[in-house]
Structure 1
Amino acid sequence: QTEKDNPRVTDPNNSTLNVLGGDQKVKGAEIEVTGRITDAWQVNTSYAYMDGRVIKSTTFSQVGRALANVPHHTFNLWTTYQLTHALQIGGGANAVSQRVGSSSPVAATNLINTVPGYWTFSAMAKYDITEKISVQANITNLLDRYYIDQIHPAHLIPGEGRTAQVTLNVAF
């Protein structure tokens, strides 16, 4: 459980400004499992449930509503497999459930804006050139899915598209 006293909330006299006031609370649980299926195959996975609520606010209509940008469910899975002594491959998934954009309803519709949940997938390959030098390639958002990463009261920020990165790692 996390409690936040005096968070930034919408100014009741000017909706374009924030003031400090109110209380917010998030209750939840998380489970994580990490282990090896075989000597060459490793798996990491986790799931979190969060219920974020406005407890007290300068705007009475927000009390009891869900906190903005707090998904009820998040999940991730990452696995790697050591194909040879020098070559490792891996892949995984991340999921985030639907989130509300604001604890206040839209004035014109009296509805709460939400953004849909999403899944992204990633992959990697790493090759050890020597004991101290390796090269690694990562691809995030493998399927190039459009999703909303950050929610703000007046705008949304999309998540990154498919991205490839190659890294040369040198240990000293």
Structure 2
Amino acid sequence: MTPRPLMIAMTTAMALGLAGCGLNTASPSKGPTVIARTMVIYTGQEIHKPGWPQYRPAFWSAPAGSTVQLTIISHDSGTAPLMMLQDDKVRGTIGDTEMIDGKAERSVNNQDIAHTFTIPAIGLNLPIPAAPAGHTVTVTAKIRMPQAGRYGWQCMAPCGTSPMGMGGPMVTPGYMQGTITVTPAS
């Protein structure tokens, strides 16, 4: 027969051991995971392909339910006013705002827009203003990732080749369009 103090010690040790293995379900709840993602918009001259601006990376992933702190750094000082004026408004971000060089904004003047980062399937639109000549502009926004799946994004500003600006990089994956893969939450 095992003495009572030894039995208590063994039981306590087993319980602590199981808790260390992750079997303890009484853990404090955490908020949503925040994932940082950065994209850079390069001009066609910078990538040696005039008339072909490019977002890099054009393809990235994040877990479902996470919050992405998206930073877009644009080198492009050219403007490409939008054909659809509703795309000058910020939509689908936490708070329906974006930060432009540290200042909260809900829209960008149509005549100042160079690009957008738009994911129609989730109602996201980030208008990106033209950078001052010789400088960059930084746009940041918090985006809640939807359910797992693949979501196409597109620049809606006519910033490509062809008379209407909708050719070349606008229709070529990896330039002014790409895919966000939302992975199952872990």
Under TM normalisation by the shorter chain, which class is it? under 0.3
Q: TM-score, normalised by structure 2?
A: 0.24
Task: Return the structure number with greater relative CO, CA threshold 8 A, min gap 6.
Answer: 2
Q: Which has the larger radius of gyration?
A: 2
More helix by share: 2
More strand by share: 1
Q: TM-score, normalised by structure 1?
A: 0.25
